[in-house]
C-alpha cells in the first residue's frame, strides 16, 4: 500500500492610519496626530495569501520601529533583458527596498521597477516550500511503515505507534470509501485515493502550526487536485457512461434537449465542486481563528486597553475551541474529497458489470492490500 501510494503521487503586519483630534484650549489649535492602528484585513490576507517568507510575529522597539520575526526564502528571477537574479527575500526589507531593479508591490508580488522589463518569478514561495516539506513527511511516514511491515512487525501482534495510526486510516478508506463505490476495481484505485487522502490531511495539519502557510486553503493547491481527479474520472469512463450523458435512455426527445446540456455541464461541475469545497472550508477556519485573535487588538484600540484585556480570555477560549475543530475539519475534508472522488469514479464505469454479477463488492476483495 505504502509503496503504491508513493508512486501514485507525482502537487499580520500593521498599516491603517487614525487621526486623533486634541480638544482646543483657549482657541489654540493642536496638530493632527496620525496613529498607526491594527488592520485586521491585512493580517488575515497576509496569512492566507502566499509570500516569500515565513512570518511569525512582529514587535515594536522603544524607538517606534517595527521588527518582524520571519524566515526569508530565496528569490529566483529570470528576465530576458536582465538575465537571472538570485538573492534572499530579506533584501527587500518587507517592501521598503529595491534589489537588482525589482521590488515588492502592495500584494507582495515581485515586480520590475522598469515597466519595460519582463520578469518570470521562479522563486519557491512559502506554500511551495511547505508543500515539499509535507510531501517529504508523507514519504517518510509511508516508507517507514512499509519497512515495519516488511520486517513482519504488527502482522501477528497489534501494531504500535505510527503503524497503528496509518493502518486504521488505510482500512477506513478501503472499507468505507473504496469498497462501496469502486467494487471489484478497489485495488486499482485504492493507492490513488490513499495518496490524495494523506496528502490533503498532512498539508492541512501542518498548516495549523503557527507561522506556517495555509497550503490546503490555497486555490492553486485545490485546483491541481481537482484537475487530477477530473483526469482520473475521465480515464475511468466507458461507453455506457457517455451514452447516458449524450443520449439518456427512456427520456422523451423534447426533454433530451434540456437534459443533455445539463449532463454535459455536470461532468465539469463535479471536479469544480471538489475544488471549491476544499478551498472554502480550509480558508474559513483560518479566517475565523485570526478574527477571534484580532478581537483583542480591535477592542483594545477602539475602546480602551482594558477592553482588550477583558476580551482576551473569551477570545483565546474560542480560538482554542475552533483550533481543535480545525483538526477535525482537516480529517473530514480529506475524507470528503476522496469519498466524492471515489463516487465520481464509480459512476464513470458503473455500467461495466453484467447481469447477475455483484456490483459493489467484487469476488477478489480478499486480495486487497492492507
Q: Closest Cα partner for 160 from 21, 151, 49, 67?
A: 151
What the block records as the C-alpha cell of 67 is: 521588527
At 304, the pLDDT band (50, 70, 90 cuts) reads low
Mean pLDDT throughout 305-320? 80
Within-domain flag for 36? no
Same domain, 216 and 290: yes
Within-domain flag for 279? yes
Residue 26: is its pLDDT beyond 50? no
Q: Closest Cα partner for 283 from 295, 275, 294?
A: 275
Q: How far apart are CA 75 and CA 122, in angstroms?
A: 7
Contact 289, 356 (CB under 8 A): no
User: What are the C-alpha distances in Å from 292 to residues 46, 129, 269, 295, 308?
Assistant: 16, 28, 34, 5, 12
Mean pLDDT throughout 131-155? 87
Same domain, 335 and 304: yes
Residue 192, pLDDT score: 95
Within-domain flag for 19? no
Residue 368, pLDDT score: 36
Q: Over the stretch 59-111, which tens digit does the pLDDT of each residue have?
A: 666 666 666 778 888 999 999 988 899 999 888 887 788 888 888 887 778 88
What the block records as the C-alpha cell of 335 is: 475524507
Phi-psi region of 27 (alpha: psi -120 to 50; beta: other; left: phi over 0): left
Same domain, 332 and 287: yes
Residue 153, pLDDT score: 72
Beta bridge partners of 139: none
Q: Within a 10 A sphere around the Cβ of 92, how many other Cβ atoms?
A: 21
Looking at the chain, the whole-number percentage of residues with pLDDT higher than 70 is 78
Count of domains for the chain: 2
Same domain, 110 and 203: no
Cα-to-chain-centroid distance, residue 136: 16
Same domain, 327 and 210: yes
Within-domain flag for 353? yes
Same domain, 92 and 137: no
Same domain, 204 and 242: yes
Same domain, 87 and 140: no
**Which residues neighbour 306 within 8 Å (Cβ) at sequence distance 6 or greater?**
300
Within-domain flag for 28? no
> What are the two backbone dihedrals, phi and then psi, of residue 78, each rounded to the nearest 5 degrees?
-130, 130
Same domain, 112 and 130: no
Within-domain flag for 165? yes
Residue 10, pLDDT score: 36
Average pLDDT, the chain: 79
Same domain, 142 and 247: yes
Q: Which domain holds residue 129?
A: 2-7+125-367
Same domain, 252 and 316: yes
**Which residues neighbour 115 within 8 Å (Cβ) at sequence distance 6 or greater?**
none
Amino acid at each position: 500500500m505504502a509503496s503504491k501510494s508513493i508512486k501514485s503521487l507525482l502537487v499580520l503586519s500593521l498599516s491603517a492610519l487614525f487621526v486623533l483630534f486634541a480638544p482646543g484650549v483657549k482657541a489654540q489649535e493642536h496638530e493632527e496626530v496620525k496613529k498607526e492602528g491594527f488592520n485586521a484585513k491585512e493580517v488575515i490576507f497576509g496569512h492566507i495569501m502566499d509570500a516569500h517568507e515565513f512570518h511569525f510575529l512582529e514587535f515594536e522597539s522603544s524607538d517606534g520601529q517595527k521588527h518582524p520575526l520571519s524566515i526569508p526564502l530565496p528569490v529566483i528571477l529570470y528576465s530576458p533583458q536582465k538575465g537571472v537574479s538570485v538573492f534572499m527575500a530579506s533584501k527587500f526589507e518587507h517592501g521598503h527596498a529595491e534589489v537588482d531593479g525589482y521590488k515588492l508591490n502592495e500584494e507582495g508580488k515581485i515586480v520590475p521597477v522598469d515597466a519595460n522589463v519582463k520578469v518570470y518569478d521562479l522563486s519557491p514561495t512559502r506554500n511551495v516550500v511547505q508543500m515539499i516539506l509535507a510531501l517529504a513527511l508523507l514519504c517518510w511516514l509511508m516508507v517507514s511503515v512499509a519497512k515495519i511491515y516488511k520486517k513482519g512487525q504488527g502482522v501477528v501482534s497489534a501494531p504500535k505507534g505510527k503503524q497503528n495510526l496509518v493502518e486504521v486510516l488505510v482500512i477506513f478508506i478501503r472499507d468505507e470509501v473504496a469498497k462501496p463505490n469502486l467494487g471489484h476495481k478497489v485495488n486499482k484505485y485504492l493507492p490513488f485515493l490513499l495518496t490524495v487522502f494523506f496528502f490533503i490531511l498532512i498539508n492541512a495539519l501542518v498548516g495549523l502550526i503557527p507561522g506556517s502557510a495555509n497550503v490546503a486553503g490555497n486555490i492553486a493547491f485545490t485546483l491541481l487536485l481537482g484537475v487530477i481527479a477530473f483526469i482520473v474520472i475521465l480515464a475511468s469512463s466507458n461507453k455506457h457512461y457517455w451514452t447516458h450523458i449524450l443520449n439518456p435512455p427512456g427520456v422523451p426527445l423534447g426533454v433530451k434537449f434540456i437534459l443533455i446540456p445539463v449532463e454535459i455541464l455536470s461532468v465539469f461541475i463535479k471536479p469544480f465542486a471538489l475544488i471549491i469545497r476544499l478551498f472554502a472550508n480550509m480558508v474559513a477556519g483560518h479566517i475565523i481563528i485570526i478574527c477571534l485573535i484580532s478581537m483583542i487588538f480591535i477592542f483594545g484600540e477602539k475602546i480602551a486597553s482594558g477592553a482588550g484585556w477583558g476580551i482576551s480570555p473569551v477570545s483565546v477560549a474560542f480560538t482554542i475551541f475552533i483550533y481543535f475543530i480545525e483538526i477535525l475539519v482537516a480529517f473530514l475534508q480529506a475524507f470528503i474529497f476522496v469519498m466524492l472522488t471515489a463516487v465520481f469514479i464509480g459512476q464513470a464505469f458503473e455500467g461495466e458489470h453484467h447481469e447477475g454479477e455483484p456490483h459493489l463488492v467484487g469476488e477478489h476483495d480478499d486480495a486487497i492490500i492492507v
